[in-house]
Amino acid sequence: MFNRPPAHENPDRPFRPPTTDSRHRFSVYPNLARKMMPTSANQLWVADITYVRLAEGFVYLAVILDAWSRRVVGWALADHLRAELALTALDMALAARTVAPGELVHHSDRGIQYACTAYVERLTAAGIQPSMSRAGCPWDNAMAESFMRTLKREEVDGRRYRDQADVEARIAIFLEKVYNRQRLHSALAYRPPAAFEGDDRLLSAPPHAAEPIAQGTTICV
């Protein structure tokens, strides 16, 4: 069943379902991303979850971006917020990318989907270091949140999705064809993420550790 707004919800203020529950018993991890500036692919991934409104109810979208190229490397859509949603996006990313153990940081908020045992074990098995935003600091995951705003503005807002199959088909086109392969990014010298990753000049340098970001700098799309 899709989540429905409470009966007492003010009709003038559309209900927005929460997507983050950080009140859990699982461990949280320090913010490693705050000190990183990626210099090649698969050094820093950022993850987040948002909701998408349907004609009746909601579905939820989990996304993983490569912070160097802004490319969507994993995503999943479901009618629930269980850990399987985030895990499916992670499995897509792991299948699509070659990850060197110990060289990749995965950053997210402190939500239970990312902190739960199954998700952390999947990261650990792949040699990926978990990283989480500081309490009360949503800007710690600024790149992922900026992407979600872009998604809402350029694809979701104003759409009337019929059902989960409709939204999944349309978002797949937006993520895989429009965002990754056509949308230009000022931070990427006005190239799409896929073209940026395919630039031989940029990929010719040997892989090396990410460089530290200057104090106070925020990574944004």
Is pTM beyond 0.85? Reply is no
Residue 6: exposure state from Cβ atoms within 10 A (0-12, 13-18, ≥19) = exposed
Per-residue confidence (pLDDT) for residue 205, from 0 to 100: 37
| For range 179-184, the mean pLDDT | 95
Answer whether residue 13 shows pLDDT above 60: no
* More confident call, 18 vs 197: 197
Per-residue confidence (pLDDT) for residue 8, from 0 to 100: 40
Answer whether residue 170 shows pLDDT above 50: yes
Per-residue confidence (pLDDT) for residue 158, from 0 to 100: 82
Which range among 1-15, 117-131, 153-167 shows the weakest confidence by mean pLDDT? 1-15
Tokens of residue 185, six digits: 């990014």
* More confident call, 8 vs 194: 194
- At 33, the pLDDT band (50, 70, 90 cuts) reads very high
Domains in the chain: boundaries: 33-198
Are the beta carbons of 152 and 50 closer than 8 angstroms?
A: yes
The rounded percent of the chain whose pLDDT value lies above 90 is 66
Assign residue 35 a region (left: φ > 0; alpha: ψ between -120 and 50; beta: otherwise).
alpha
First to last CA, the chain: 34
| For range 106-116, the mean pLDDT | 93
CATH placement of domain 33-198? 3.30.420.10
Residue 18 backbone dihedrals phi, psi, to 5 degrees: -65, 145
Query: What's the mean pLDDT when you consider all of the chain?
Result: 83
How far apart, in Å, are the Cα atoms of 19 and each of 61, 80, 193, 201? 10, 10, 27, 40
Which pairing describes strands 44-53 and 58-66: parallel, antiparallel, or unpaired? antiparallel
Per-residue confidence (pLDDT) for residue 140, from 0 to 100: 81
Per-residue confidence (pLDDT) for residue 49, from 0 to 100: 95
- Whole-number Å distance between alpha carbons of 113 and 102: 22
The one-letter code for the residue type at 208 is: H
- Got the DSSP string for 40-99? STTSEEEEEEEEEE-SSSEEEEEEEEETTT--EEEEEEESS-SHHHHHHHHHHHHHHS--
